[in-house]
């Protein structure tokens, strides 16, 4: 057995949604690199919530998740936005909106240096408008 830390480690993770609904209670697990695991449970058991937390889509409480020995949530702020597939359901994308406003709406002002670097790397035209 290897003495290296697990690739994925969850320690006493409890997650509560903004509406005060409990999503997970006291979950702990360690998965080594290359491991295969089944995540099974009844509807509403928290399978999707756990996967979203591991993927960073939802912010986990500090010191509850480590990926490769690093807590990915240790230095994050609540203003960081995950823009997954649900973006198409966001009403802001169905309006005539300028790129700078769209960037602000998804948290671009929280990390202006990162935003500006991505705009440069991706060669985004800030005068472009998103039309419905």
Average the pLDDT over 43-64 and give the result. Answer: 88
Statement: the pTM of the whole predicted model exceeds 0.85: no
- The Cα–Cα gap between 100 and 126 comes to 6
> CA-CA distances (angstroms) from residue 127 to 23, 102, 104, 130, 132?
42, 12, 14, 10, 16
Contact between residue 63 and residue 9 where contact means Cβ atoms under 8 Å apart: no
**Helix ranges, 56-127 (H):** 99-105, 112-121
The pLDDT tens digits for 23-45 are: 999 999 999 988 888 999 999 99
């Amino acid at each position: 057995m290897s003495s290296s830390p697990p690739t994925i480690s969850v320690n006493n993770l409890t997650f509560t949604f903004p509406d005060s609904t409990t999503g997970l209670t006291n979950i702990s697990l360690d998965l080594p690199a290359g491991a295969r695991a089944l995540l099974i449970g009844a509807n509403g058991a928290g399978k999707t919530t756990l996967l979203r937390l591991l993927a960073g889509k939802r912010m986990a409480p500090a010191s509850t998740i480590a990926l490769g020995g690093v807590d990915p949530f240790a230095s994050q702020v609540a203003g960081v936005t995950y823009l997954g597939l649900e973006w198409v359901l966001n009403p802001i994308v169905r309006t005539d909106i300028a790129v700078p406003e769209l960037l602000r709406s998804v948290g671009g002002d929280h990390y202006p240096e990162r935003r500006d670097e991505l705009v440069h790397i991706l060669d985004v035209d800030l005068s472009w408008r998103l039309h419905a």
